Structure 1
């Protein structure tokens, strides 16, 4: 079996799908990339125990012979990174497992593995649901919510992004119990009510491919797996099991105080002041008065403190102090595109909402953040 392909094209496709491969796997074959050659089409597949990503590219099948084999990812990627863009020729003897990659002024040899031991793709059930949505909408929803997901594996369902399909909208939700982000997209419609929770790794894989796409992507899913078509790429991911909490029940609907403030001014001020916060708590204190917002932080252990005033449109009867975790607060502001944000509050013990003053057409974004306890108050 012999075929030629451009080295840069091969490298680009390999780099994307190789992100699926786990650093340590209970199945050694999953440390390899599966090659499937049929005519002038070469299909590359990488997988772990929960995800499988494939891509297809056009090659020059010199001998006209078809075949399959697997190659350890490290043998392929590192040499290809050092090659300038040029045609390279793969020659593989599937009987002896000997292989060679030849390029303009050299070659290297290695041994391939039997492809028959590579796990098969998971099959979806007959009652699987299909949804079509713009690649831009999927990218926007994942980017807005992924940072809020939990890192605690003891509650697996909270480690992924929940996608809730309604007839008139698609809702993305990410939460770790302290922060909750919900983005509603009325530009996406669904023929039937459905929902699933997509694991963090699958979300990251999608975010690496979606910026390269235009138009729509097709999602097919059942209770266990999601299969998504991404142009030249396909991803199959095992969905998280369990029941996602009722996210709407924790979002306050009647916070009496509403503050409008310039997002970038508040963000830059929070960044400066937070440098002086205690690393153990990372608390940013915010005092709201009719004159604006006073940001403050201190670290008693090192006798350092900072304070800064930010102009804001606060209610005339507002006088409240509240504490937020500074790094999470900054991440929320950084992920928003609106020039101004609206902060709604009830008191220093209840969750606050951080909302964009202006949303993209059809988009509604809500960030919920639980406050930190202010010592002595």
Structure 2
């Protein structure tokens, strides 16, 4: 089998697939890309058994066939070649692969394509079309808060919860909960699936920057995201996501609105002086002033800053993990944010002050019990 394509064309495709390859795969064959040629179309597949990404491009080929090629060696070779046509000669008996360029030849040992695991085929699927920009926003707003705790598998991914009225994208790690709602994403059927965070992260990296439609197909076990010449297939998390709506407080009427960048900069400075285990900061809200303070008793470190805010409600003191707040504020894009608070022991909400008509972003963070300290 012999085929020819430009270095940039192949490199672009395998770069999109490279994130799937595990550094310690469960079976050795998964260290390879699967190359399959059929009627001049080269299909390249990478998989870790749970997630697979497939790309298709046109090539000049003399015959159909398939071969598994070592992923790292191929990627490193193409990265260091200038833009030019390269020819792949594959010996289907020995699985040897020779790559020929304008000024060199490179031989590597491939493997039998028959040993590469088959990609799941979905039966009885539900389908949904979503714009790439909406999907990218949903992932960008939520993915950072997915849990890393393997003891809570239901929280190890992005929960897609849709009905006839709207669609919610939700993540939580027990300390934070992010809900991104799209009113313009209506589906006829109800859908509740959990997509593993690795698959979501891969999807985030390969979604095109230019606007395009993403076809989403799913059943109880798997989901497929298709756009342009790429397809991502992933196994869903077979768990029940917690009842997140009941966690979101409805009576947080103590409102604090302030400049997001000012609060973010303040927290980045104050957390330097906080306890390194808890990262606790104290919010003291009095009239139109927010006092942010922290201390580390063990090292006699302390810091305090005053910020102007628009405040509706009673004076309040409440503690939070500054690292959580920083990460949440980094993933909000509006100029101002509103903190919706209630009592020192109740969850706080952070919402952008400006949102698009069809979107509703809500970030929940649990408080930390305050220790008494004063300046």
TM-score, structure 2 normalization: 0.97
Shift of 1:39: 2.6
For residue 174 of structure 2, the aligned residue among 167, 174, 177 is: 177
Question: Corresponding residue for 2:8?
Answer: 8
Question: Corresponding residue for 1:95?
Answer: 93
Distance (Å, rounded) in 2 between the aligned partners of 1:196 and 1:51 = 15
Q: Which runs of 5+ in 2 are unaligned?
A: none
Question: Corresponding residue for 1:228?
Answer: 225
Task: Tell me the matched-pair count.
Answer: 373
Question: Corresponding residue for 2:329?
Answer: 333
> Equivalent residues in 2 for 1:42-61 (5 A)?
42-61=42-61
Shift of 1:376: 4.0
Contact 1:6 1:86 in 2 (8 A): yes
Contact 1:209 1:230 in 2 (8 A): no
Distance (Å, rounded) in 2 between the aligned partners of 1:278 and 1:368 = 22
Residue aligned with 2:94, SS: coil
Contact 1:213 1:231 in 2 (8 A): no
Question: Corresponding residue for 1:247?
Answer: 244
Shift of 1:213: 4.7
Q: Which runs of 5+ in 1 are unaligned?
A: none
| Alpha-carbon spacing, 1:376–1:296, altered in 2? closer, same or farther (3 Å) | closer
Distance (Å, rounded) in 1 between the aligned partners of 2:154 and 2:318 = 30
The Cα RMSD (Å) is 1.3
Cα deviation code 1:273-301 (max 9, x no counterpart) = 11111111111211111031001112222
Cα deviation code 1:105-136 (max 9, x no counterpart) = 1111112111011111112122x211111111
Say if 2:345 is the partner of 1:352.
Answer: no
Say if 2:25 is the partner of 1:65.
Answer: no
Distance (Å, rounded) in 1 between the aligned partners of 2:84 and 2:156 = 42
Contact 1:258 1:344 in 2 (8 A): yes
Contact 1:164 1:172 in 2 (8 A): yes
Cα deviation code 1:121-167 (max 9, x no counterpart) = 112122x2111111111111111111111100011110101001111
Question: Corresponding residue for 1:191?
Answer: 188
Question: Corresponding residue for 2:283?
Answer: 286
Cα deviation code 1:230-267 (max 9, x no counterpart) = 21100110000111111100100011211111111111
Question: Corresponding residue for 1:79?
Answer: 77
Contact 2:350 2:362 in 1 (8 A): yes
Distance (Å, rounded) in 1 between the aligned partners of 2:369 and 2:198 = 33
Question: Corresponding residue for 1:110?
Answer: 108
Question: Corresponding residue for 2:148?
Answer: 151
Cα deviation code 1:62-108 (max 9, x no counterpart) = xx211100011122011111111111111111112222101111111
Distance (Å, rounded) in 1 between the aligned partners of 2:95 and 2:209 = 35
Cα deviation code 1:20-49 (max 9, x no counterpart) = 111112211111100001232111000012
Question: Corresponding residue for 1:216?
Answer: 213
Distance (Å, rounded) in 2 between the aligned partners of 1:91 and 1:213 = 35
Question: Corresponding residue for 1:274?
Answer: 271
Say if 2:343 is the partner of 1:343.
Answer: no
Residue aligned with 2:273, SS: coil
TM-score, structure 1 normalization: 0.96
Distance (Å, rounded) in 2 between the aligned partners of 1:14 and 1:125 = 28
Distance (Å, rounded) in 2 between the aligned partners of 1:48 and 1:213 = 28
Contact 2:212 2:227 in 1 (8 A): no
